[in-house]
Structure 1
């Protein structure tokens, strides 16, 4: 039985797949990879079934070994990586000999690096998914040193690529497209213009649940309490401070603050790689 033996797990390492869609009515969020595009690419590079589980690594620091030969791919935040002390590249399939240690350093840009292993991470599914939801506690436990992860054997044929030419996470300012939200009427008339008038900075008080932003204050036109209502990934929820929070993968299924806009799903993948202190520009779109 092939296994990954965790030696170090860095700031946060979790098992993620594409989540649990369709269960919001039961109070269960989607969760899954914060940067879905990068996880899907990693799985494709090693010929995994779509939706196979991998490891999401936050700010590097992961180290592991396998007693057997395995094939892996690393995508997302570009981190210096070694196999048995020899540097290897990202966005390409890599053969790891049995007993060799794989180590990831801290990325220069981006936040989350994805590890896919040919065969996928084979842990028990919880409500149809192997994703770790850090807010609800559903799914596998957060990885710790000493954890052993079984590698599955459900793979497809190898894809016809040697390397994937993909853009690295942007280290500078990010442009995110935003469609109007369901509660525009709770804000003053020019609130959407204010939202797009300047830059918002990513706060250090951010995680897989949401990203707190600091920047132009969004003024509300109504001060009463809003009954809790459903929210989705990418929602820009605005508390009384007027500073929006961008919901990421492990967001709550309901919220009691008005949502002024929703970031397009493809751009949420970009936002999930933004480091604290990085600036975002929220641009209205009708797409």
Structure 2
């Protein structure tokens, strides 16, 4: 799931965006080795779903694909291509004929694939055989919404070249979706000693705020209930490193769970970190959904 993307010669403009939906971004496996320069990895919010879409069409797991937020994407084939849709199960059709999720699909010349809003989950992934071949920035074609690096969000009329990316390997497992309350495992620290009762994080439920995005999930207590994360000491920390899955707690006591486009440093204390195996589930949470943290 961490294969480096490849940009290949000989690509052709094979797909045209008819409608981008609320947000459609290009994502490969991410931008490696630039943390010291202040540049994060970015990449797909649901890494397993992105990798699975690529493997279904025969690509390396890190090939560039489209991350579609809440459906709405319509894309027309200019040549015959094979595609696959994974992640949040967005109902899809080709010129009005329903097509399956999580399986390779032959899209013939002139046909338009449309994705509607998924019933569960937030982000779907559309991969095309050969991979989407666009220029890279610092070795990656991923769009980092915080740093402003990579290709811009897809817009109507955008033409997507398809290359010759090919790979081999196992098919990654799909991310589980649809639980009424999503459970995420956490490791406490490194700054849990900054709170009078850090176990309050794993007591009761939290709810995803509408002020959430690829940078992070802002969390609050449903209906204002449940214990708060009160500070045990005054003042703030000097800025220190942040990692994917870090749960940072500002003075309000309402945590922020950092996702793919997270900043690399921050001054608020980090009470815990979500284990890496659960990050993809966090990347599929939509505003209003409830979650619960449990000790790993």
Normalised by the shorter chain, which TM-score bucket? over 0.9
Aligned partners of 1:245 and 1:139: how far apart in 2?
Answer: 25
Partner of 1:75: 86
Aligned partners of 2:244 and 2:25: how far apart in 1?
Answer: 19
Alignment coverage as a number of residue pairs: 280
Q: Which of these residues, 240, 253, 256, is aligned with residue 245 of structure 1?
A: 256
Q: Which of these residues, 153, 166, 177, is aligned with residue 155 of structure 1?
A: 166
Please show how residues 108-187 of structure 1 align to structure 2 within 5 Å. Answer: 108-156=119-167, 166=174, 168-187=176-195
Contact 2:87 2:175 in 1 (8 A): no
TM-score normalised according to structure 1 size: 0.94
Contact 2:55 2:167 in 1 (8 A): no
TM-score normalised according to structure 2 size: 0.91
- Give the 3 Å change call, closer, same or farther, for CA 4–25 of structure 1 in structure 2: same
Aligned partners of 2:85 and 2:132: how far apart in 1?
Answer: 14
Q: Which of these residues, 6, 21, 30, is aligned with residue 19 of structure 1?
A: 30
Contact 1:91 1:165 in 2 (8 A): no
Find the residue that maps to 2:163 and give its secondary structure: coil
Please show how residues 1-287 of structure 1 align to structure 2 within 5 Å. Answer: 1-156=12-167, 166=174, 168-188=176-196, 190-191=197-198, 193-215=199-221, 216-285=227-296
Unaligned segments of structure 1, at least 5 residues: none
Aligned partners of 2:77 and 2:244: how far apart in 1?
Answer: 35
Deviation at 1:183, TM superposition (A): 0.8
Deviation at 1:167, TM superposition (A): 5.6
Contact 1:71 1:95 in 2 (8 A): yes
Deviation at 1:60, TM superposition (A): 0.3
Deviating beyond 2 angstroms after TM superposition, the runs of 4 or more aligned structure 1 residues are 164-168
- Give the 3 Å change call, closer, same or farther, for CA 160–183 of structure 1 in structure 2: closer
Aligned partners of 2:239 and 2:170: how far apart in 1?
Answer: 48
Aligned partners of 2:170 and 2:259: how far apart in 1?
Answer: 32
Tell me the C-alpha RMSD between the 2 structures.
1.6
Find the residue that maps to 1:49 and give its secondary structure: coil
Aligned partners of 2:144 and 2:63: how far apart in 1?
Answer: 16
